[in-house]
Amino acid sequence: MFRNKNNKNFDISSKDVTGFSLIETILYVGVFGILVAVISQLVVGTITNYKELKTRDELVSSANEVFGFFLKETKNSDSIYLDRSVFDSSSGFLSLISPFQFGDEVGSSGYVDLYVSEGKAWLKRGGETAMALTSDNVEVTRFEFARSVPKQGLEGVRFYLGIRDKINPGKTISLATFTMLRGGYKK
């Protein structure tokens, strides 16, 4: 029981005080809004990072596949078939003469073609169907071969590869490598 100035008794009971005050409500809503903003930024950042990592992984995986086949096929070839190969062009074509047997012909050599078509890198061995080396989500922007003669009697090929993501066109990678052939160039 409390008394006011006029000596009148008044009772503050629990039924008179209900809910939050306006200031308390504004404070709770403000704190809740800040928490929601922070959590949403964390979620959006995580999703963005995942997409970027997935894009980079797909680009690196496709480049790795192309480089792996290029190095393996070039190192195992005796010579380059110059009449069919296209050098110093962003959409190059490399035709290799391989000592390995393809099909049923015993003792015959075959060919291996590396080329780009419709934004994809392809590998075609003699008597086989062409095989895509890059995924559908990437586009090959540079597929260039350059003839190299580092020493007398030795010849090799420098390969430049540019790949970009079709979904995020700003994401690109450019790589280059060099390898020597087992034999020389076919004249």
**Is 79 or 132 the better-scoring residue by pLDDT?**
132
pLDDT of 186: 43
Residue 47 — very low, low, confident or very high, per pLDDT cuts 50/70/90? very high
CA-CA distance, 67 to 161, in Å (whole number)?
A: 9
Which pLDDT does position 127 carry in this prediction? Answer: 80
Mean pLDDT over residues 153-158, rounded? Answer: 81
How far is Cα 112 from Cα 108, in angstroms, rounded to an integer?
Answer: 13
For 19-28, 121-130, 146-155, which range has the lowest pLDDT when averaged over its residues? 146-155
Cβ(99)–Cβ(114) below 8 Å: no
> How many beta carbons lie within 10 A of that of residue 113, not counting itself?
18
pLDDT band at residue 185, thresholds of 50, 70 and 90?
Answer: very low
**For residue 72, which of 49, 53, 98, 92 has the smallest C-alpha distance?**
98
Q: How much is the average pLDDT of 141-151?
A: 86
Q: Which of 151, 152, 160 is nearest to 178 (CA)?
A: 160
Can you give the pTM of this predicted structure?
Answer: 0.70
